[in-house]
Amino acid sequence: ILAEAWGPLGNPSEDMLICVATNLHMIVRPHIPEQRQRFAVPNEFYPIYNENHPHQQGEVLYMEPARISLPLAESLATVLLANTRRAFGGGYQILPELEAPASALRDRNTFLIGTSVNSNAAATFLRNMPLNIVFSNDRFAVVDQRKPEGQQEVFSADPQNGPSAAVHYGLLTVISTSDSAGKPRRIVVISGTWSAGIQAAAEFFTSPARMKELKDRFKAGGLPGFPASYQVLLRCSTFGTRLMSYEYAGHEVVQK
């Protein structure tokens, strides 16, 4: 079932790229040499740093930009995709989007881990899709881009800070194309309202049981199997930044 769902991504004779978008992080630590991009750390950061980092009394903290730094869930998603690709007997390449922009993904079999709010490539590929994830009204939201402005929001994330589990969303987008020689190519964009949503989408696409359920849904809708291009929305329960569980929330078949 995964061979059918993955298509050319599972073909071991073809190349496959895992492209990972990265947020701009600031690394906080002592011993950063004086340079143009070294910044002073506000006093409010010191107690946070001292929680689980060694720090000597009187030692000054600094921060500097980190352009290639991954949250744990994005790392787990990358591992899941890489391990599944190896199970097919194929190799892969992993690059940050900083080194593989949208133009470099054309005519390649690619997993793109990124959301429109932090990835130019994801924004490009999702621009004409039915569903997208945006940041609006101080929260992340799933929007239906086919609807008029002001009526697009379908779901909004609920990042609770209390003892209750938070609710986030993962978005899986499969886009099938052909290269200049007519060979099939596939780009899969894995997005989320939070890192846990990205992990959920990767778990979903690497699970034979989940993909079998999805194929059955397509068949119930009159399709013979997986369509060439489609989106799947997942509702996630999280605790802090960790994924606890997820469930199918809907899908859209993309007509090209």
Q: What are the tens digits of pLDDT across the range 30-76?
A: 888 888 889 988 988 888 888 888 877 788 899 888 877 778 889 99
CA distance 122 to 141: 16
pLDDT at 165: 67
Q: Is 133 helix (H, G, I), strand (E, B) or coil?
A: strand
Q: Please, how many CA atoms are within 13 Å of residue 199, restricted to the half-sphere of its CB?
A: 20
CA distance 130 to 146: 6
Instruction: Estimate to the nearest angstrom the gap between the alpha carbon of 32 and the chain centroid.
Output: 31
**Closest Cα to residue 10, out of 160, 226, 214, 222?**
226
- 155 against 51, higher pLDDT: 155
pLDDT at 66: 82
Instruction: Estimate to the nearest angstrom the gap between the alpha carbon of 95 and the chain centroid.
Output: 14
Write out pLDDT tens, residues 113-142: 999 988 999 999 999 999 999 987 788 999
Rounded to an integer, the average pLDDT of 106-112 is 93
pLDDT band of residue 23 (cuts 50, 70, 90) is: confident
pLDDT at 130: 97
Are 21 and 118 in contact, with CB atoms under 8 Å apart?
yes
Highest mean pLDDT among 13-17, 155-159, 191-195, 204-208: 204-208
pLDDT band of residue 1 (cuts 50, 70, 90) is: very high
Q: Is 166 helix (H, G, I), strand (E, B) or coil?
A: strand
pTM for this one?
Answer: 0.89
Lowest mean pLDDT among 77-91, 161-175, 190-204: 161-175
Lowest mean pLDDT among 122-126, 194-198, 214-218: 194-198
Rounded to an integer, the average pLDDT of 200-223 is 97
Asked if the model's pLDDT at residue 240 lies above 80, the reply is no
**Closest Cα to residue 134, out of 121, 112, 115, 110?**
115
